[in-house]
Every structure is written in C-alpha cells, then in structure tokens.
Amino acid sequence: MRYSFVRNIREKRKKEINNYELKGYILNKNNYVTNDILQININGIIFKYGIRVNGNDVFFYILKEGCQIYLKIYDIYLILWKLYYKENNKQIIDFLEYYENNSQEISFSYEGVNYFVHQLPKIDENIKIGVLDSDVEITLEELFLLIYLIQDKSNYLISLGKKTEYINGIIRMLTTLLKCNNKNDILETIGWFFDYEKCYYILNSKDFLSEKKKRMNYLTEYEESLIL
C-alpha cells in the first residue's frame, strides 16, 4: 500500500502537464518537474521533505532550517559510515535491516488522501548529525525516514519492470558496504572501490556506462550472500 504515493505523485505530474497544454502552453514534457512538500507526523513530530518529480524519477530531500538537503546514496553511505565506525553507533545496521525484517507502516496525509511509508524503528530523537561539510544538523530519525522513503520509491519503480531481484537493493547495498568495509571484487565491478587510507569506499562512476551506473546503488540478495 505504501507504494501508491509514488504512483499518484507521478500521475499528478502528468495531470499538470495536460492542464498546461489545454491552456495552450508548449511544454517540454521530459523536462517538466513537479515540486511539492511532504509532511509526515510521527508521534507529534513533523518531518518535512521536498519532492521533485521528473519524467524518470521521484526525488526526496530534507527540508531543514530553510535549507534543501538533497543527499545522494553515496552521501548517505558516508554519513552512516561515520556514525557506525567513527562514533561507534552499532545500531545503524539494525536500523537498516529493520526495513526488510518489519513490514509495519506509518500513515500520512497528502492532499487529503492517506498514504503509507515504512515504519521507523525506535531511534533516539536526540541524535543529531552534521550534514557533510555544512553547518546544518539533521536528526537520525530524519535521515532514516529519508532512506525509507527512497527505498519505498525505488521498490515501486522496480516493481514496474522485470528485475525484481533489486527490490530492497538500496538498503542491502548500504548494509553490505558497512559490514564488508574492505576490498571486494563484486563491489568493484559496480563502481565501489575501497580506499585503505580513508578506510571507506569511494564511488567511481566516470568510467562506467549509463546502464551500469544504474546498478551502483543496488545489490541483489545473491550478491550480498557472496560478499558477506
């Protein structure tokens, strides 16, 4: 049920395009972007995210202190790596694996319709995270809700195709990168190279074709089993 939000927000974009065309506007449909704000209330705390929808994908980003915080999967990995290894927060793995091990959902309302996102585990709401090189801090809850929104979105889009083995592949990739934390031939074939000096993976996309770049953020269960 939680995947219906992504389906409907994409339909909203199509309706916006149709409405503009009916009014006589000439649009480049591929470049048209729908922007909006999503608010999710969890135990009285409002989590605010921006939404961007283009012809290919749906993007979520954190809205905090007037800033738009857009994190790529690699950015998320670096934040999780720092928490797990530098700050010794071993619950990070549990929070990632919770997504696959628990199917409960949180409801939220958008434009008068109720939708669902994967439920968060119990996370200390006081844990704050510095966002890469900026002065802005987010909570660990905000980060994991973003991860869950991204994975929910990804699962829906993957379900429309044939390669369903990539369902939950983002969570699986993040978990494996943290657990492995060493050179691995399988990870290197999809662009993840271990830096022994920095002790974390460097994502190298420049030498990979566009089709292979799509694989960089996903692992199948079989690949995970070979690595770990």
Q: What is the pTM of this model?
A: 0.94
**Contacts for 56 with CB less than 8 Å, ≥ 6 apart:** none
- In the chain, DSSP assigns E strands to 34-42, 45-53, 58-64, 67-69, 105-110, 113-118, 128-130, 137-139, 192-195, 200-203
Per-residue tokens: 127: 């844990």
Alpha carbon distance 172, 224 (integer Å): 7
pLDDT in tens, the chain (228 residues): 578 999 999 999 999 999 999 999 878 888 999 999 999 999 899 999 999 999 999 999 999 988 899 999 999 999 999 999 999 999 999 999 999 999 999 999 999 999 999 999 999 988 999 886 778 899 999 999 999 999 999 999 999 988 899 999 999 999 999 999 999 999 999 999 999 999 999 998 665 545 555 688 999 999 999 999
- Three-state DSSP at 190 gives coil
Q: How far apart are CA 118 and CA 133, in angstroms?
A: 29
Instruction: Specify burial of residue 145 (Cβ count, 10 A radius: 0-12, 13-18, 19+).
Output: buried
